[in-house]
Chain A
Amino acid sequence: MITVEGLTRTYGGFTAVNDVSFVAQPGEVTGFLGPNGAGKTTTMRILAGLTRADRGTATIGGHEYRQIPNPGRHVGVLLDASAQHAGRTGREVLTIGARTMGLPSSRVDEMLALVSLSDAESKRRIRNYSLGMRQRLGIAHALLGDPQVLILDEPANGLDPAGIRWMRGLLRGYAERGGAVLLSSHLLHEVEQIADTMLVIGHGRIVASGTKAELLTSTGTFARSVDDARLAPALQAKGLAVRPDGKGLGIVVDGDAQVIGETSLEVGVALLELRPADGAGLEDLFLQLTAETQRETRTEGVPA
Chain B
Amino acid sequence: MSAPATAHGPSTFDLSNTPRTPLTRLLAVELRKLVDTRSGRWLLIVMGALILVGSAIFAYASRNGSVAFFDFTSVAGGVTSVLLPVLAILAVTSEWSQRTNMTTFTLEPHRARVVVAKLLATIIAAVLSIVVAVAIGAVMTAFAGALGAQVDWDPNVEGLLGFTIVQVIGLLVGFALATLLLNTPAAIVVFFAYSFVLPGLLAIAGVYFDWFEDIRPWIDFTQAQVPLFEGFSGVEWGHLLVSGLIWFVLPLTAGITRVLRAEVK
Contacts and interface: CB of A to CB of B under 8 A. Distances in A.
Contacts of A88: 36-37
A62 B13 contact: yes
B20 A48 contact: no
Q: How large is the interface on B (under 10, 10 to 19, 20 to 34, 35 or more residues)?
A: 35 or more
B107 A178 contact: no
A177 B103 CA distance: 26
B99 A83 contact: yes
Contacts of A102: 21, 25
A79 to B, nearest CB: 6
Nearest to B261: A52
A45 B102 CA distance: 9
B12 A62 contact: yes
Contacts of A93: 103
A148 B107 contact: no
B6 A178 contact: yes
Interface string B1-36: 111111111111101001111000110110011001
A63 B29 contact: no
A70 interface: yes
Contact of B100 (A71, A72, A83, A179): A83
Q: How large is the interface on A (under 10, 10 to 19, 20 to 34, 35 or more residues)?
A: 35 or more
A85 interface: yes
Which one of B33, B107, B108, B263 has the highest number of Cβ atoms from chain A below 10 Å of its Cβ?
Answer: B107
A174 B49 CA distance: 51
A230 B59 CA distance: 95
A12 interface: no
A56 to B, nearest CB: 17
B39 A87 contact: yes
B106 A178 contact: no
A77 B105 CA distance: 11
Contacts of A212: none
Contact of B29 (A26, A66, A68, A99): A99
Contact of B11 (A61, A74, A100, A141): A61
B1 A178 contact: yes
19 contacts: A26-B9, A27-B4, A27-B8, A50-B263, A69-B20, A70-B18, A72-B106, A74-B13, A79-B106, A83-B99, A84-B103, A85-B94, A85-B100, A87-B37, A96-B32, A97-B107, A178-B1, A178-B5, A180-B11
Interface of B: 1-13, 15, 18-21, 25-26, 28-29, 32-33, 36-39, 94, 98-100, 102-103, 105-110, 263-264
